[in-house]
Structure 1
Amino acid sequence: MRIIFAGTPDTAVPSLEELVRDHEVLAVLTRAPAPVGRKRVLTKSAVHERAEELGLPVLTPASLRDAEVHAEIAAYEPEAIAVVAYGMLVPPELLAVPVHGWLNLHFSLLPRWRGAAPVQYAIAAGDSTTGTAVFQIEEGLDTGPVFDVEEREMSAADTAESLLDELAVSGARQLSEVLARIERGEGESRPQEGEPTFAPRLTSKDARIDWSEPAEVVSAKTRGWWPAPGAWTSVGTTRVKLGPVAVTDVEGLAVGEIRAGATVLVGTGTTAVELDRVGPAGKAWMNAADWARGLNTDHLTFGENNA
């Protein structure tokens, strides 16, 4: 099928590569280069860089509402536009340009977790199952009919980073196969069913840990927010970043109480959790035991009352 691909981050690259192998990719839509890091270096998106390596034309409009952008996209005469984490709203007049419309690979089992951060919320919420869905983009937020879903069981080892990496690869194959079925006239979609939940873009404020919650919830949130925006807590007025933590069966620690030894434990609303990596303010990530060494943890408590 003749398609345009629209995507931006690393997780969209496997889909671009799969579609180049299986279909005719005419051009790539991605976000414009943006300042990155402390030095604010203007940096191309991961999809932009890979598209150039593949020799594909790259379009980086600041908005899809511009008439010239509309004309440029229409001039390619795509049969479909495949979307993976593109990050820009598509106006109604552009949705009608390809004969088969815009098809989006979404990293959840719609209508659960519509929005920008579905994997993060699925893990943080303790979902037992997640997956990917290929659906038709329409004017609503992730509301369009679904062509295909693939389920995947969740585990206590999943982080947003590891799960996204996995779903990006399996979803790339799924997206390509859906396009192939549509090209053969075999593509059928169905309306979404069930009560929707939403996964809006995350901020650092969302990622603060509440130690009064059960250990399983604390662990799930640290894994869901890893690596971005990154879970965090405070000791006194100092912010401390947290890597994924593990649930233990250790009892007797007060909420937020830190117990350091061979391992570093923190009390929650149920049993303690074990810290792995921490990132003290202004310092590099380090092993939790190394961080605790030299601190008087007998008098330190994590939590909101110390901020």
Structure 2
Amino acid sequence: MYKIVKAEKLADKIYLMDVEAPRVARHCEPGQFVIVKIDEKGERIPLTICDYDSEAGTITIVFQSVGASTEKMTNLKAGDAFRDFTGPLGCPSEFVHEDLDSLKNKKMLFVAGGVGAAPVYPQVKWLKEHGIDADVIVGAKTKDMLILEEEMKAVSGNYYPCTDDGSYGHSGMVTTMVEELVNEGKKYDVCVAIGPMIMMKFVCLLTKKLEIPTIVSMNPIMVDGTGMCGACRLHVGDEIKFACVDGPEFDGHLVNFDEAMKRQQMYKTQEGRALLKLQEGDTHHGGCGHCGGDN
């Protein structure tokens, strides 16, 4: 069992937990993820690693309640435990293994959307620990939906919050913030974009036009997390890749986002039915004619 030592709500439907997992904490690197299970019969849930403390033996995860399993997770508190906590999985961010002197000469831009701030944070933190300041753009619908603000400010060279409704920071999408920085004369050697699929797609369309190489994390389409289910199959250029074992990070200018988003939608209906069954409990009867009730 893997004890939860801290559990808090960051924003509407977004939660943070610190979990005791010493072996994972000793071996993980930025960009990797874990798979958690609440109990023996629970669903396998892939979650990117938000932070880690090898000395304390803890891993920080951030998740959004979107289905039945993550909704159950919101009820866990400090002192509770996960049945399984497997990792680290996936490949670390490429820059972790780059020549440090060469990396210090690069100007990096990170673009995060919503919960994408969680996997962006350990990457920017790693760079900061190695003497490299990166610019960070974080977007959300409203100010209340921005997460890890103080943590991100502490590790980034420049921090640019954006809100769709203009309630805080830059008014507009993260893409308009990227354009504004470039128009001001900022030059970037590489961009890392992590967030909702549609956000990453439009960031990549922009950065391709601006000729800024861009890395994206395809963790949103993972289901099983070990390459067995095939849910995260995607085209990267002319090659077939699986986000969980070949990634989750890829060249964003080569990813077929339209195909990936179509695959992602295939799992939404089942996810919604499971959540409805959890919420309705004994009153759930399958009257929609599609979910089979309690069968």
TM-score (norm 1): 0.39
- Structure 1 or 2, whichever has the larger Rg, is 1
Task: Using CA pairs under 8 Å that are at least 6 residues apart, name the structure with larger relative contact order, 1 or 2.
Answer: 2
TM-score (norm 2): 0.40
Q: Indicate the structure with greater helix content.
A: 2
